């Protein structure tokens, strides 16, 4: 039976769109199927930041960097990973990936030099000026439009077609009707399983129960189908969390508020950990301490965070309260006022004293805090999972270490580069690097295999 398309891509986030562009430019017919009624997925919700080491943009900014330095940074925070080779591969191709995005895709990315991001020893994040992932997605979609690549929204892949152990496309549901789309090669760009509570409980129990804060499509089909195929899974317990989603507003409380000197307390007015673990690593601690947590900071910190659009909007919608004393601050949410007062005093003493506090926090930003104070009620969130299908250096999905014929994966569908377990191994940008770099090399390898097969 003939193929409908050379390369079928499932999922229209950054991974799927990048794969489609690369496959088209390699001379292959390609189509993308997207389950939801719009493309973009989590990529559109992200800040669009893609890390890369050794780009010409870094050189122009006088920043010395190399894939080896990037790999060292990732391995230092990942601690342990099921797949060090993938870390090496992605750091090695990170610069060409970002330059391809700018030069071939036309993505409007700029090197962020204003500050260094979590996990990176030098500035290496390349992001839209707006810091909105939607802009990056828009640029990817414009590039697929220019190439007349079909992006079929409202088409959910329901199952892979497997014949004699090889993948031959997917069963697709459109408006309640199922049909076959047959393809020479299939790329899974479906993201992970953060929107599938059962899979989160099974693989990432420490963050089960946190509010999922991503796009609705990440329901874990890549893992479910992969398990049925006997595919290898890796780094399944790794995820990216966020310790401070404003409640009930549902927007992120900028972590700048904490890095620049704020702290978090529970309803009892007491701190419960070292916030300098970072927004991802601290999410689990916030989840474990009670229903809500409360971020406390002062006017100077507030004014720095207010330069960020999302924080300014949260303030406009009343998510950040102000008081001139800690006792008044406690009243907004019925916190134990005496305990909050004691906690503020202890925190300020530690910040002024130069020694680590009782949780080991050493960096207090602008603290000691001074009145007037601000408070924001928060809950922890889960952004995305970082485990998935184990792939080789060309993004081929592996089964017992050998490629499953015709099947590729990238982005959140594949195993990530953020360590084996937990949220501490996530360096800013790991998600999009996996998405775009793996999507592109999957497409290039798929095209090469088709060329080799003479099809």
∠ CA 172-177-183 to the nearest 5 degrees?
25
Tell me: does residue 297 bind ligand FAD (CB under 6 A): no
Q: What is the number of alpha carbons within 13 Å of residue 268 lying toward its C-beta?
A: 5
**CA atoms of 209 and 281, how far apart (whole Å):** 16
Q: What is the distance, to the nearest Å, from the Cα of residue 127 to the centroid of all Cα atoms in its chain?
A: 14
CB 91 within 8 A of CB 43: no
Q: How many of the chain's residues bind ligand FAD (CB under 6 A)?
A: 39
Q: Verify binding: residue 421, ligand FAD, rule CB under 6 A.
A: no
Per-residue x/- track, 39-58, ligand FAD (CB under 6 A): -xxxx-xxx-x---------
Q: Distance between CA atoms of 59 and 200, rounded to whole angstroms? A: 41
Helices 84-92 and 67-78 pack at an angle, to 10 degrees, of: 150
- Complex with ligand FAD: residue 261 or 412, whichever CB lies closer: 412
Contact assessment for residue 52 and residue 94, using Cβ atoms and an 8 Å cutoff: yes
Counting contacts by CB under 6 A, is residue 138 touching ligand FAD? no
Nearer to ligand FAD, 44 or 369 (CB): 44
What are 177's two structure tokens? 């009707």
Q: Which of residues 171-200 bind ligand FAD (CB under 6 A)?
A: 189-191
Residue 50: which region, alpha, beta or left (left: phi > 0; alpha: psi -120 to 50)? beta
Applying CB under 6 A, which part among 10-18, 175-183, 342-350, 390-398 lies near ligand FAD?
Answer: 10-18
Stretch in the footprint of ligand FAD (CB under 6 A) among 73-81, 229-237, 365-373, 425-433 = 425-433
Choose among 25, 31, 26: nearest CA to 8: 31
Site string for ligand FAD, 368-387 (x = CB under 6 A): ---------------xx---
Burial state string for 322-351 with b = 16 or more CB within 10 A and e = fewer than 16:
bbeebebbbeeeebbbebbbebbeebbebb
Q: Is the CB of 272 or the CB of 426 nearer to ligand FAD?
A: 426
411 and 18 Cβ atoms separated by less than 8 Å: no
Query: Which one of residues 78, 112, 199, 432 is an interface residue with ligand FAD (CB under 6 A)?
Result: 432
| C-alpha to C-alpha distances, 155 to 143, 260, 443, nearest whole angstrom | 21, 45, 21
Q: How far is the CB of 357 from ligand FAD (least distance, A)?
A: 29
Decide: is 430 part of the binding site for ligand FAD (CB under 6 A): yes
In the complex with ligand FAD, the residue whose CB is nearer, 14 or 244, is 14
Least separation in angstroms between residue 215's CB and ligand FAD is: 5
Q: Does 431 bind ligand FAD (CB under 6 A)?
A: yes
Contact residues: ligand FAD, CB under 6 A: 10-16, 33-36, 40-43, 45-47, 49, 156-157, 189-191, 213-215, 217-218, 221, 383-384, 411-412, 429-432, 435
């Amino acid at each position: 039976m003939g193929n409908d398309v050379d390369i079928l891509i499932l999922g229209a986030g950054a991974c799927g769109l990048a794969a489609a562009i690369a496959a088209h430019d390699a001379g292959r017919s390609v189509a993308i199927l997207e389950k939801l009624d719009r493309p973009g997925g989590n990529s559109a919700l992200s800040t669009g930041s893609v890390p890369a080491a050794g780009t010409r943009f870094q050189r122009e900014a006088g920043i010395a960097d190399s894939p080896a330095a990037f790999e060292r940074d990732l391995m230092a925070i990942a601690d342990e990973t099921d797949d060090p080779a993938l870390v090496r591969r992605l750091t090695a191709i990170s610069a060409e990936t970002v330059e391809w995005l700018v030069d071939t895709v036309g993505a409007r990315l700029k090197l962020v030099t204003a500050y260094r991001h979590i996990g990176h020893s030098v500035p290496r994040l390349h992001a839209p000026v707006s810091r909105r992932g939607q802009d990056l997605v828009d640029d990817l979609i414009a590039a697929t439009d220019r190439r007349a690549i079909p992006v079929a929204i409202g088409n959910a892949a329901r199952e892979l077609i497997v014949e004699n152990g090889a993948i031959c496309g997917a069963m697709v549901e459109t408006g309640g009707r199922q049909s076959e789309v047959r393809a020479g090669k299939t790329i899974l760009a479906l993201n992970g399983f953060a929107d599938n509570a059962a899979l989160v409980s099974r693989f990432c129990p420490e963050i089960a129960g946190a509010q999922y804060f991503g796009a609705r499509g990440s329901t874990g089909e890549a893992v479910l189908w992969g398990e049925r195929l006997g595919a290898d899974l890796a780094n399944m317990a790794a995820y990216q969390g966020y310790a401070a989603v404003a409640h009930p507003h549902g927007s992120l409380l900028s972590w700048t508020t904490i890095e620049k000197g704020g702290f978090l307390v529970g309803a009892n007015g007491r701190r419960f950990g070292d916030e300098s673990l970072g927004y991802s690593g601290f999410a689990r601690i916030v989840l474990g301490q009670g229903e809500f947590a409360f971020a406390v900071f002062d006017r100077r910190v507030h004014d720095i965070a207010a330069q960020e659009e999302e924080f300014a909007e949260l303030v406009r919608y009343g998510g950040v309260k102000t008081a001139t004393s800690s006792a008044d601050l406690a009243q907004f949410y019925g916190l134990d006022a005496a305990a909050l007062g004691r906690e503020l005093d202890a925190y300020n003493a530690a910040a002024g004293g130069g020694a680590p506090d009782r949780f080991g926090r050493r960096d207090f930003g602008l603290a000691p805090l001074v009145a007037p104070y601000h408070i924001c009620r928060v809950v922890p969130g889960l952004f995305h999972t970082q485990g998935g299908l184990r792939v080789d250096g060309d993004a081929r999905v592996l089964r017992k270490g050998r490629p499953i014929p015709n099947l590729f994966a990238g982005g959140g569908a594949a195993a990530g580069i953020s360590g084996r377990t937990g949220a501490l191994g996530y360096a800013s940008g790991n998600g999009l690097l996996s998405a775009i770099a793996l999507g592109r090399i999957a497409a290039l390898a798929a095209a090469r295999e088709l060329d080799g097969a003479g099809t």
